[in-house]
Amino acid sequence: MTAEKAEGAKGFAGFDPKSVEPYIVKDPENLAINMARAAEQLGKAASAWLAPRESGEKTDSFAEPVSDMVKTLSKVSEYWLTDPRRTLEAQTHLLGSFFDMWSRTVHRMAGDAVDEPASLQRNDKRFSDEDWVRNPFFDFIRQAYFVTSDWAERMVNDAEGLDDHTRHKAAFYVRQIASALSPTNFITTNPQLYRETVATSGANLVKGMQMLAEDIAAGRGELRLRQTDTSKFAIGENIAVTPGKVIAQNDICQVLQYEASTETVLKRPLLICPPWINKFYVLDLNPEKSFIKWAVDQGHTVFVISWVNPDERHATKDWEAYARDGIGFALDIIEQATEEREVNSIGYCVGGTLLAATLALHAAERDDRIRSATLFTTQVDFTHAGDLKVFVDDDQIRHLEANMSATGYLEGSKMASAFNMLRASELIWPYFVNNYLKGQDPLPFDLLYWNSDSTRMPAANHSFYLRNCYLENRLAKGEMVLAGRRISLGDVKIPVYNLATKEDHIAPAKSVFLGSSSFGGKVTFVLSGSGHIAGVVNPPARGKYQYWTGGPPKGDVETWMSKAKETAGSWWPHWQSWVERLDKRRVPARKAGGPLNSIEEAPGSYVRMRA
């Protein structure tokens, strides 16, 4: 054997007898006992799933999304199967790829050094275990997975005659199927899982199935996938702890004011309007990460809207109610607490969309209390709204509205699942493997605790949002009707600080950038590194990521980026300078609530309501 062949053979675990020892069952009796115990726990999980369905407490609507997926993918199949030449082309491409893969495997098993094609060299942390390459069996499975999933994506991309929405949905569904069928998700095709199952004689599966039963029971018949150790966090104790008061409340929100930490504060108070899809304390996770605390320390008098976790009583609370009884109510309270009319504002995600629509309504009504608006990862033009548009077409919205009409709201778990599906390979399947197949408890992580703290959404509000924004894009077109008025963002003349994040999968930078052109005043567009959360919650002390600033947001975001200035670290100080350029007047620090009596300590009771 040549030195080159010897080196190639050395790289394969299959040629080293010792390398297969971790895969050999040494205690079959104990393994059989544990498999029986795991089956018993799986039975408990099945019972926890069935119980609310047998009692009529819960009904499933699996047929609707599955039907939509089948209908969408059948349109792709129709293109390739209706023409024999195209069918042969698709088959030839896949079979040719498998033949090449088989040929490489045979040569490597013979001891030859074979270079892997660049297309199969992936920086995919799911396949980080060295046996995915070293062991011939697992190496073949890995290559087969990449070849097949690449082929399926190509079938979608190359299919002609599909409208954009159908192609988008088909690509999304193919990615979901590929993520679910990854060999990393199964014991016999994942070398690490296989070794752990053998080493523990299946004890990992006993623990995993026990956790599965617990998670289904915790979700009252739905799988509440645990992504972190929730027992390590308590709202108001070690998360959301910035000192403040709840100074007012109504049916849909509480208004919080935070205690000043500086001797003087900016004359204009700051109102933060968070999304109601999630809870506001993503901006107050802990003192080191808290944007709220940092803003207080810069001299802002910070007010935050804390939305109620709605139930059937809130079914008719629509977009106007959230604008009037949320933002409008908060503005009234701020004026009573501080005797200031002029306010700076921040809106995050859909909270920013609501803020933008409210500003347009205020412009029509000549309400000039909000003097500047900062938008965090906010879409106002939904032309390029990303993968969430997969869930939005007339048929799907009608089905959703029918389901919501029965309860008056959308279950928080439904929206949480949709968000997790956008990054299934990172937010679903790694936890499925770690929890239920490895039997390991997840580590405590405050951001994932927040992510699991889902909220419900009122039927009227959610329906209005989906139809007016995602489906018909009425806000950007100047066709949205709010409080009986047709509103236009072009009427919003106040300064706008529009923040996008480079890797955002919920509000893509391309979409946020396009929305900048909808406003009638000057827009300062800033692009931050990282994604929807980490790109926003990026305190200066950590020195992470970077941000880009440049000229007016015109043209497309790629052209803007090519000319923009990159600055290392957090964008927070840049925003603070922007705010102070608008109005840097200061007054003595204010007491939380002013003349108003406080109701309770921040973060309040509304944020503690779990779905």
Best-predicted range by mean pLDDT (72-81, 89-98, 248-257, 422-431) = 248-257
Residue 6 has pLDDT above 60, yes or no: no
Average pLDDT over every residue of 444-455: 93
pLDDT of residue 66: 84
pLDDT in tens, 121-141: 888 999 999 999 888 889 999
In this prediction, residue 3 has a pLDDT band, given cuts at 50, 70 and 90, of: very low
pLDDT in tens, 313-348: 999 999 999 999 999 999 999 999 999 999 999 999
Residue 119 has pLDDT above 90, yes or no: no
pLDDT of residue 17: 61
pLDDT of residue 611: 78
pLDDT of residue 62: 66
pLDDT of residue 114: 74
pLDDT of residue 12: 44
Tokens of 515: 């929305």
Q: Are 582 and 607 in contact (CB under 8 A)?
A: no
pLDDT of residue 16: 60
Distance CA 544, CA 528 (A): 11
pLDDT of residue 245: 98
Residue 310 has pLDDT above 90, yes or no: yes
Instruction: Go through 219-232 and write b for each residue having 16 or more CB atoms within 10 A of its CB, e for each that does not.
Output: bebbbbbbbbebee
CA dihedral sign, ordered 109, 115, 120, 125: positive
pLDDT of residue 169: 93
pLDDT of residue 362: 98
CATH 3.30.230.10 holds for 244-417+445-608: no
Strand order in the sheet with 270-273: 565-568, 546-549, 523-528, 496-501, 370-376, 343-348, 270-273, 302-307, 253-258, 244-249, 600-601
Residues acting as catalytic residues: 349
pLDDT in tens, 503-532: 999 999 999 999 999 999 999 999 999 999
Tokens of 454: 């889902």
Give the predicted TM-score (pTM) of the model.
Answer: 0.91
Tokens of 26: 């040494």
Q: Which of 29-43, 90-104, 247-261 has the lowest mean pLDDT?
A: 90-104
Average pLDDT over every residue of 39-56: 93
The fraction of the chain above a pLDDT of 70, given in percent, is: 97
| Residues composing the chain | 611
Distance CA 10, CA 8 (A): 5
Q: Where in the chain is the domain with CATH 3.40.50.1820?
A: 244-417+445-608
Task: Give the residue with greater pLDDT, 521 vs 418.
Answer: 521
Instruction: Go through 112-135 and write b for each residue having 16 or more CB atoms within 10 A of its CB, e for each that does not.
Output: ebeeeeeebeeeeebbebebbbbb
Residue 8 has pLDDT above 60, yes or no: no
Residue 15 has pLDDT above 70, yes or no: no
